[in-house]
Amino acid sequence: MKVSIIGCGRWGSFITWYLNKTGHRVSLYGRRESRKMAELFSTRSNGTIALPESVTLTTKLAQAVQNDVLVISVGSQGLRALMQELTAFDLRDKTLVMCMKGLEISTGKRLTEIVKEYTDTKTAVWLGPGHAEEFVRGIPNCMVIDSADDRVKETLVEEFSSDLIRFYYGKDLIGNEIGAAAKNVIGIAAGMLDGLELSSLKGALMSRGTREIARLIHLEGGSELSAYGLCHLGDYEATVFSKYSHNRQFGEKLIKGECYSQLAEGYHTVKALMLLAERNYCALPICTAVYQVIYEEKDAKKTLDSLFSRSIKNEF
């Protein structure tokens, strides 16, 4: 299978390395002005991933779209602009695979909803736990591929599976997309707890966070069970505890008053979740607390403490 990865960040570079390792002909596209792409051209490494000569590097989007499968790994807020660029090309026989986790901040739309505005081509999502730093050391994990088209889903799972990644078939595109995006917000909350030296509360955070996202998924038309799968709860270890988690690190540094320059998708996603909560009349207490700390600059300790003053009720 000929595959192009669009996006040369940490995850896009890993996917390039992984799909090349599993026997595919792979190209990696990054913008000409990208410092990350310049580094890859110069050294074929980003410090974590080393790409072999069999991988084609390109800064020409027209070259990248010649392949059959386009795996997209860009910041979720940049997807719409990318799709506008891609409309210049014939995508009818392509398969687009979204490999990022987020919701559009201004509309609350899922990534596949944005893609559908520009093309009717086959679309899938690749979600679940794992960090590039661990995969390249041979540490395996489980992930999920979902699509509205069962044949697309089955083909991708068959082609992409290996001893390093065991893929499952997703059965709920709505739930998987919302769950995957929302886990980054829970990751920020976990980082806040670390920054406040309240890490022992992460167990409660995981339990209650999963429950509120399950309710939202149900109201959006998905299955509550998806929140307990690989897209959300199954990704908590990598997001809530891992030293490699950008969202956890962002939350911790925010509490400590330190700058964090890496992309933390949960920063944008929490604002989109507030739109979905309002639309569905759905209470999202943990996500709301994260939003208030980030966007309203409320005191983190008092805001998180307020979660304990909510009315007492049955757990389920």
Active site residues: 183
Calpha distance 176→229 (Å, rounded): 8
Please give the single-letter amino acid code of residue 162. Answer: S
Tell me how far CA of residue 315 lies from CA of 175, 208, 240, 274, 304, in angstroms: 22, 9, 22, 23, 19
Token couple for 64: 């990248």
Give yes or no for a contact between 152 and 95, defined as CB atoms under 8 angstroms apart.
yes
| String of DSSP letters for 175-198 | HHHHHHHHHHHHHHHHHHHHHTT-
Give yes or no for a contact between 104 and 115, defined as CB atoms under 8 angstroms apart.
no
Which three-class secondary structure state does DSSP give residue 144?
strand
Looking only at the bridges linking them, the beta strands covering 25-29 and 141-147 are: unpaired
Calpha distance 155→167 (Å, rounded): 12
